[in-house]
A and B are shown apart, each in its own frame.
Chain A
Amino acid sequence: MKQPNSTPTTDLMLRETASQTAGPYVHIGLALSIAGLPPRQEEIWNRMATPEADGQPIEVVGSVIDGNGDLVRDTFIEAWQADAHGEYQCDFDLEKPFNSFGRSATTVESGGEWSLITVKPGIINAANGKPMAPHINLAVFARGINMQLNTRMYFEDEAEANAACPILNAVESESRRRTLIARREESEDGKVRYRFDIRLRGEGETVFFDF
């Protein structure tokens, strides 16, 4: 092991428990159906909104692509978003029509795609009181990812709000900002879907945040 290179400890503050990769079998613990395990009484999964939830129902789908351009088929994803009114529903309860928290995963069987069934989030204000464009916070975990990568998914059809979003504008590079915008797709039956591919490394690399 190399020399310690983290900042010195003060005895006034404990050190955070160190992170480790979620590994290849994360599904056993956090996505039981993917691992082939029987479900428990209640599972936390990708249906964040039922048809009764307020707001516009949407599906969010995407792939995760590594630095070689190959699909990452063992990603585990967590989503955190406001409801249609711009409120976080923190009290997770599967009997409610909407939960702000959801989980998904990419697998070989799903063609390497993750998906969320949700509603389009409303507008929330940033810490300085300025409105942020509608967005979904995503955390990406997988084998080979030592600590989760935090990103945000924005919506292509919210161009005006996106242009004014203080968080998007914290990304200096305009071309990198575009990596955070999901594409809108409408299916024949009128369902709205947003596609958000996450590129972990290299060309078109998705912006990841520290906060």
Chain B
Amino acid sequence: MPLNKGKRFVERDRSWHPVAYTPGYKTAVARSPSQPLVSLQSPSISEVSGPDFQHLRMGSHDNDLLLNYREGKGQDGLPVGERIIMFGRVTDQFGKPVPHTLVEMWQANAGGRYRHKKDQYLAPLDPNFGGVGRCLTDEDGWYRFRTIKPGPYPWPNGINTWRPSHIHVSVMGPSVSTRLITQMYFEGDPLIPICPIVRTLNDPEAVQTMVGRLDMAHSRPMDCLAYRFDIVTRGELQTYFENV
């Protein structure tokens, strides 16, 4: 499907997104290009097409982090922490739903510890929590995960720098032009405004696009709370009047 021949996407506003060189986030200093990006005035099929994952075979618990790690280990416990549903809708900038697109996520456990061999934080791993999920959006652009709310954690940037609770979110959208990796933060978290990675953004309104909202209406009484996180990918245009 997403060959998108004859499609174009609304230009990315690169001052809305974080720019590359953001010295408050130290790692960015040596990893940001010093030369300007080269703009392709007429993107080709290489840029407007992208993969369609409807034939990727997924497990039945790929989007359920309460169950998908213990399964892998043959254990039968549940993870410790705040049980939540994280859900939302992927639309483009014109409000059009983005159906059947791959949404992936990963996160630390309730104590802020990642199940990654490189993470040495002293908070313990949870034997029943892996921290990875994926799903496709449905016909109307909706996705959902069930998980544990991740904890904040310290990282070596300043002397006392902590990440707010966050879930990394990856969405493909209809083409490699719409490809986006972001982080969902949690409404009301006082660590959000002091985080150097959040502060790579210049516009407080842009920060708001990354905040998941507590949604009591979609929570499950006596079971779990819900956070809604809608994702907006670049608007899709038809091309008119080219090559004349």
Instruction: Decide whether A and B are members of one complex.
Output: yes
Q: How far is the CA of A74 from the CA of B114 in the complex (A)?
A: 15
Give the distance to chain B from A138, nearest Cβ to Cβ, in Å: 10
Chain B residue numbers with a CB within 8 Å of A13 are: 10, 93-94, 235
Total interface residues in chain A, CB < 8 Å: 89
B interface, size bucket = 35 or more
Please report whether the interface of chain B is mostly helix, strand, loop or mixed according to DSSP. Answer: loop
Chain B residue numbers with a CB within 8 Å of A50 are: none
Q: Is A132 part of the contact surface with B, judged by Cβ < 8 Å?
A: yes
Q: Is A49 part of the contact surface with B, judged by Cβ < 8 Å?
A: no
Q: Is A63 part of the contact surface with B, judged by Cβ < 8 Å?
A: no
Instruction: Among A19, A90, A128, point to the contact of B1 (Cβ < 8 A).
Output: A90
Stretch at the interface among A1-9, A52-60, A155-163, A184-192: A1-9
A90 x B132 contact (CB < 8 A): no
B116 x A25 contact (CB < 8 A): yes
CB proximity to A under 8 Å, residues B37-90: 37-47, 49-59, 62, 72-73
Chain A residue numbers with a CB within 8 Å of B207 are: 1, 18
Chain B residue numbers with a CB within 8 Å of A132 are: 44, 46
Q: What residue in chain B is nearest A86 (Cβ atoms)?
A: B45
Task: Known A132-B46, A146-B28; judge A20-B18 contact (CB<8 A).
Answer: yes
B210 x A17 contact (CB < 8 A): yes
CB proximity to B under 8 Å, residues A42-76: 42, 44, 66-68, 70, 72, 74
B46 x A135 contact (CB < 8 A): yes
Q: How far is the CA of A137 from the CA of B175 in the complex (A)?
A: 12
B182 x A15 contact (CB < 8 A): no
B50 x A36 contact (CB < 8 A): no
Q: How far is the CA of A18 from the CA of B232 in the complex (A)?
A: 9
Chain A residue numbers with a CB within 8 Å of B105 are: 29
Chain B residue numbers with a CB within 8 Å of A94 are: 56-57
Q: How far is the CA of A88 from the CA of B183 in the complex (A)?
A: 30
B168 x A29 contact (CB < 8 A): yes
A6 x B62 contact (CB < 8 A): no
A68 x B30 contact (CB < 8 A): yes
CB proximity to A under 8 Å, residues B157-184: 168, 170, 176-177, 179-183
Q: What residue in chain B is nearest A202 (Cβ atoms)?
A: B34
A40 x B59 contact (CB < 8 A): yes
A92 x B51 contact (CB < 8 A): yes
Q: What residue in chain B is nearest A176 (Cβ atoms)?
A: B35
Give the distance to chain A from B167, nearest Cβ to Cβ, in Å: 9
A15 x B93 contact (CB < 8 A): yes
Q: How far is the CA of A133 from the CA of B119 in the complex (A)?
A: 42
A16 x B12 contact (CB < 8 A): yes
Q: Is B22 part of the contact surface with A, judged by Cβ < 8 Å?
A: yes
B58 x A90 contact (CB < 8 A): no
Chain B residue numbers with a CB within 8 Å of A3 are: 202
- The 6 residue pairs across chains A and B that have the minimum distance between CB atoms: A29-B106, A144-B27, A144-B31, A146-B18, A101-B51, A6-B16
A-B contact pairs, 21 of them (CB 8 A): A1-B202, A4-B204, A6-B206, A13-B93, A14-B94, A16-B232, A17-B182, A19-B182, A20-B183, A30-B106, A37-B115, A37-B132, A88-B46, A92-B55, A100-B49, A124-B44, A124-B46, A144-B30, A145-B20, A146-B19, A210-B39
A interface residues, Cβ below 8 angstroms from B: 1-7, 9, 13-30, 32, 35-38, 40-42, 44, 66-68, 70, 72, 74, 78, 80, 82, 88, 90-95, 99-101, 124-129, 132, 135, 137, 139, 141-150, 152, 167, 170-171, 176, 200-202, 205-211
Extra A-B contacts (13), CB below 8 Å, given A6-B16, A6-B202, A28-B131:
A7-B13, A17-B233, A19-B17, A20-B182, A24-B116, A27-B116, A30-B170, A92-B52, A92-B56, A100-B51, A142-B31, A170-B39, A211-B47
